[in-house]
Structure 1
Amino acid sequence: MIFGIAAIVPALFFVVGVVRDRRRVRNAVWLGVTLLLLLLWLLFRAVETEGWPGVALGYGFVALLLGLGFVLPVALIANGVLVLRREGFGLANLLSLLAGLAIFGVVAAFGFLTARTGPVVDAVIGSLLVVAAYVAFLFVSLLLYSIVYGSLGRRTGFDAVVVLGAGLNGDRVPPLLASRLDRAIRVYEHGVGAGRPPLVVVSGGQGPDEDVSEAAAMRDYLVRRGVPDDRVLVEDRSTTTEQNLAYSARVLAEHGWQGRAVGVTNNFHVFRAAVTARRLRLRMQILGAPTAAYFLPSAFLREFAALLVQNKVGHTVACGLLVGLHLFLVL
């Protein structure tokens, strides 16, 4: 009962945070704490409940542990192999494979810990498990909140649409970038139907393996699909998400624009782009475009790593405090 009551507090912080600004990372943390407390409440209910409800809850937790410890890493490894075959070798494409192997490593470490090899070894392995638990908690929290963020807020009624760039194939728009542009076209067409055609800013510079800038290729894509040339503004200097947003806001300001803007990117990138927009103090929410299913695990892991790096000092301190508490209790 105490865990169920305790879950009310972070749930209230979560609701207030979402109402005040959906783009806060702390909203994801409050959501994760709420769900963790509810999970603990269900676990204790399973222990205390007699009859088939308690048995069902018990089997449910066993299935959850088996899924997290064995099914999930196998699926991640298989996905990693698929991504490498389709996208080629690269650190970003290795992430789901490495994550699957890491989960197996955590399971092995937990099994080794139960062998009781000595206080020092137990303390070291326990510290690694504490860090792994912290990272897993953050990942699940951010993943779930990314889904929540993408399902909230308005979808239409914007005066400007900023399309964040992605890599080209020479001078051609690949499917990942095309999905962003198609989402922007739908937002634009809705604005036309409402009598308020928005400006569309295409944002992206030219990479070393690209024949033209991303913005130029994106502009051509939009014009070929019916967006008037005079409604498309080009920002062709940016190379990062932060620059996409900051330089595009500057382009809009130079054209005297005032109104409600929205950024468009792929669904896996939505929350990090929103957090970046908030850090830049831009009054801009982000919409997501669909992504090929096989690409999502690696893409979400990459976004998670980028969010961790944005506040690496805070996460390092948090891990240090948790490890210190563990060592104090164990030694």
Structure 2
Amino acid sequence: MIAFAPAAVLLLLFLVSVWADRRRFRNAVLLGLTLIWASIGVLFLIPSLPPLLGVVAVALVLLVPALGTLALAGFLVGNGITMLRREGRSPANLLSLAAGTGILGLIALVAYVADRGSPAMDAAVGGLVLLVAYVSFLFVCFLAYAFLYGRTPVRGDVDFVVVLGSGLLGGERVPPLLASRLEKGLRLQAAQAARGGRVPLLLASGGQGPDEKVPEARAMADWLLAQGAAPELVRLEDRSRTTDENLAFSREVMEAEAGPDYRCVVVTNNFHAFRAAMTARKAGVNGQVVGSPTARYFWPSATIREFVAVFWEHRVVNLVVCGAIAAATAVAALAV
């Protein structure tokens, strides 16, 4: 079982890191590395397995990811077409289509180069594959850990349920995306009340954009009151323009209301929950982030957009790694 020792060590590091703070991206990377080394351990066991189990192990470790990549590419292309039809041709709506087309294009390029017999071209394409593999690894880590994080239950009593704004329709009306967050906030408040503890305050967070007639927090509060929320249990944070400001300014409101020992839960949409949690950690917000449902067709592009933002937030490390791969590729291509 020595083959699983690296996976065991990485799993221990993952658990310790999650225990220390569930809101770090390193947790996602440690989870991904654990799964990779566990897969390698399975491959080392294959010679000692019965033939049927050996075939199953190879299929799980090698064949399923390969077929899954093709299936993913097809899904992303289909989703991209749906996004264009329903949401328009903005750059953000093209992300899933671009990702799916890119995967298929890379597969076609590798197949084409394999028959050319050019060492320099092989080295260049090999470097491109390594770059894509690195980014893909981080994306899968992000996706897997975001899935786990989003299913962490709210434990204990909280003082505030913070709902993050997301823009208004016509400059004054709550859109479905934001309504989903507000509904989740109301359900969390009701669940806390049902526990028999304190009833948390609902904190609507969002300032007024240049194309908005009222602050988002005001429109959100009006929506909550129309749904039956008690006015004395609703608070507003109406200065923020970004997620960073949402959380920083909400922290000020919560500390002024309940002191530095407050506890809260922050509500956003499910695709945004993990990145918002990382932002909350940096802002010093004492609480976890939960996600509300999002339309299925909208989720893939939105998730890719969130990953791009996280990748850029860690750009120093990522650009160093990508630069090293590019440099090694150039040296290999020139050496042949």
The TM-score range, normalised by the shorter chain, is: over 0.9
Distance 1:192 1:153, change over 3 A: closer
Residues 191 and 198 in structure 1, CA contact (< 8 A), matched pair in contact too: yes
Does the alignment pair 1:271 with 2:278?
Answer: no
Amino acid at match of 2:192: G
Residues 157 and 197 in structure 2, CA contact (< 8 A), matched pair in contact too: no
109-118 or 97-106: bigger deviation: 109-118
Q: Among residues 296, 299, 305, which one is paired with 1:296 in the alignment?
A: 299
1:20 paired residue number: 20
Structure 1 residue 275, shift from structure 2 partner: 0.5
2:178 paired residue number: 177
Aligned counterparts of 2:116 and 2:35: Cα–Cα separation in 1: 31
Total equivalences in the alignment:
330
Distance 1:324 1:12, change over 3 A: farther
Secondary structure at the counterpart of residue 85 of structure 1: helix
170-179 or 205-214: bigger deviation: 205-214
Aligned counterparts of 1:146 and 1:301: Cα–Cα separation in 2: 12
Aligned counterparts of 1:156 and 1:216: Cα–Cα separation in 2: 29
Structure 1 residue 255, shift from structure 2 partner: 3.1
Structure 1 residue 73, shift from structure 2 partner: 0.7
RMSD of aligned Cα (Å): 2.1
Structure 1 residue 206, shift from structure 2 partner: 2.5
Give deviations 1:227-272, integer Å, cap 9, x for gaps.
1112211112212111110111112233354521111111111110
166-175 or 190-199: bigger deviation: 190-199
Aligned counterparts of 2:329 and 2:36: Cα–Cα separation in 1: 19
Secondary structure at the counterpart of residue 241 of structure 2: coil
2:318 paired residue number: 315
189-198 or 124-133: bigger deviation: 189-198
For structure 1, the 5+ residue unaligned runs are none
Structure 1 residue 213, shift from structure 2 partner: 2.1
Q: Among residues 226, 247, 250, which one is paired with 1:248 in the alignment?
A: 250
Structure 1 residue 116, shift from structure 2 partner: 5.2
Residues 180 and 266 in structure 1, CA contact (< 8 A), matched pair in contact too: yes
2:34 paired residue number: 34
Amino acid at match of 2:251: A
Q: What TM-score, normalized by structure 1, do the two folds share?
A: 0.92
Report percent identity of matched pairs. 45
Mapping of residues 181-330 of structure 1, within 5 Å? 181-193=182-194, 194-257=196-259, 258-325=261-328
6-15 or 194-203: bigger deviation: 194-203
Aligned counterparts of 1:311 and 1:289: Cα–Cα separation in 2: 26
Q: Which runs of 4+ in 1 moved over 6 A?
A: none
Give deviations 1:192-250, integer Å, cap 9, x for gaps.
33241211111112234433221111101111112111221111221211111011111
Mapping of residues 114-193 of structure 1, within 5 Å? 114-115=114-115, 117-155=117-155, 157-170=157-170, 171-193=172-194
Amino acid at match of 2:82: L
Distance 1:179 1:76, change over 3 A: same
Aligned counterparts of 1:126 and 1:236: Cα–Cα separation in 2: 51
Distance 1:53 1:163, change over 3 A: same
2:63 paired residue number: 62
Secondary structure at the counterpart of residue 161 of structure 1: strand
Aligned counterparts of 1:214 and 1:26: Cα–Cα separation in 2: 33
228-237 or 59-68: bigger deviation: 59-68
Q: What TM-score, normalized by structure 2, do the two folds share?
A: 0.91
For structure 2, the 5+ residue unaligned runs are none
Aligned counterparts of 1:125 and 1:182: Cα–Cα separation in 2: 49
